[in-house]
C-alpha cells in the first residue's frame, strides 16, 4: 500500500518539474499585463484627460496618482517574492535534543504542552529526496528540488516557492494586485460601457481594443485574486499554510495557533510601519537571520519565556 502511494506521488511530481521551464516567461507575462494596463489607463485615457481642464482633469489626476502608487507597491512586492529565497535548511543541520523530543519548534516556538500530545511529532522528520533531516513545518518542493522552510506552495506566477522568508511579500503582492486591478476596473468601466453605446467613441481601433482588453484582464484578476487573498488571510489567522491546511487532521487545537494577533505578527512583524511594505524592521531582520540558521528567535511578542 505504501509503495503504491509512493509511486503515485512520484508520477505526479515528475510532471511538476516541467514548471521550471517557465522561468522568466511568467515574469514577462506579468510585465506584459502591466504594460497593457499602463497603456490603456495612462497613455490612452486618463493621461490625455489631464489637459482637458475642469472636473475631468481633477478626476484624471486622482486616478493617475492612485494608479501609480499602487503599481509601485505591486511591483515592489512582486519582485520581492521573486528574488527572495523562501528559506532553505542549512547544510548539515541536525535537530537539537529538545526538538527531537518535540519540546520546541525553531520556526515557531510552540507550547510544549500542546506538542507532547502529538506522538508523531516526537519523531525526527527526514527527507528522502534531500537525504537529510528536515525541521518542523518544512516540506520538499519537487519543482525547486529542495526543502523549504514553512513552505506554503510553489507559485508559477512568481517563479519561486512561497515559504517562511517571503510569505509576507507574497501576501502583499496579492493585496496590492487586488487593489490595483479593482481601481483599473472601476476607472475603465465607463469606457467599457461606451463600447456598447450608440454614440461615437473617440480613439483609434488599436486604443479601443487595448482598453477593452485591459478592462477584461483586470476584472478577471481582481475576482480571482480576491479568492486567494481571502483564503490566505484565513490561513494567517490560524498560523497554518496551504500544505498544512490540506494535510493536517481535524484537531481541537492546532499546535502552532498562538492567537490571531501573534499569528499575524509572525508573518508581518511587530512594527506597524512595516506591515504594508515588503520590508522588515531591524528586529524582524534579526529574527529572520536567526530563522535562516534555525536558531530560536527572541523578539517582542515571541519571547521563549511566554511558551
Residues tagged active-site:
155
- Comparing CA positions, the residue from 148, 129, 79 lying closest to residue 292 is 148
CB atoms within 10 A of CB 233: 14
> Would you tell me the crossing angle of helices 260-268 and 205-237 to the nearest 10 degrees?
130
Cell of 41: 489607463
Contact 161, 241 (CB under 8 A): no
Pairing of strands 153-155, 138-141: unpaired
Amino acid at each position: 500500500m505504501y509503495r503504491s502511494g509512493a509511486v503515485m506521488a512520484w508520477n505526479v511530481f515528475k510532471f511538476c518539474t516541467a514548471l521550471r521551464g517557465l522561468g522568466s516567461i511568467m515574469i514577462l507575462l506579468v510585465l506584459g499585463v502591466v504594460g497593457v494596463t499602463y497603456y490603456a489607463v495612462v497613455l490612452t485615457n486618463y493621461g490625455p484627460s489631464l489637459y482637458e481642464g475642469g472636473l475631468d482633469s481633477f478626476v484624471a489626476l486622482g486616478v493617475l496618482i492612485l494608479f501609480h502608487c499602487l503599481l509601485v507597491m505591486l511591483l515592489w512586492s512582486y519582485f520581492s517574492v521573486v528574488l527572495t529565497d523562501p528559506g532553505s535548511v542549512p547544510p548539515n543541520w541536525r535537530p537539537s535534543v529538545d526538538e527531537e523530543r518535540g519540546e520546541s519548534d525553531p520556526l515557531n516556538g510552540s507550547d510544549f504542552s500542546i506538542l507532547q500530545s502529538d506522538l508523531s511529532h516526537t519523531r525526527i522528520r527526514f527527507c528522502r529526496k534531500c537525504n537529510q533531516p528536515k525541521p518542523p513545518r518544512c516540506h520538499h518542493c519537487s519543482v525547486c528540488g529542495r526543502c523549504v522552510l514553512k513552505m506554503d506552495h510553489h507559485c508559477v506566477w512568481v517563479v519561486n516557492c512561497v515559504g517562511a522568508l517571503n510569505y509576507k511579500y507574497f501576501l502583499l503582492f496579492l493585496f496590492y494586485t487586488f487593489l490595483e486591478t479593482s481601481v483599473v476596473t472601476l476607472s475603465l468601466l465607463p469606457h467599457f460601457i461606451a463600447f456598447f453605446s450608440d454614440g461615437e467613441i473617440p480613439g483609434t481601433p488599436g486604443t479601443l481594443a487595448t482598453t477593452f482588453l485591459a478592462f477584461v484582464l483586470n476584472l478577471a484578476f481582481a475576482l480571482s485574486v480576491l479568492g486567494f487573498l481571502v483564503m490566505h488571510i484565513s490561513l494567517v489567522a490560524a498560523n497554518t499554510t496551504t500544505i498544512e491546511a490540506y494535510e493536517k487532521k481535524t484537531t481541537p487545537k492546532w499546535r502552532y495557533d498562538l492567537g490571531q494577533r501573534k499569528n499575524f505578527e509572525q508573518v508581518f512583524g511587530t512594527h506597524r510601519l512595516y506591515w504594508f511594505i515588503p520590508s522588515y524592521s531591524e528586529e524582524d531582520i534579526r529574527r529572520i537571520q536567526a530563522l535562516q540558521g534555525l536558531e530560536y528567535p527572541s523578539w517582542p511578542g515571541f519571547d521563549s519565556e511566554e511558551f
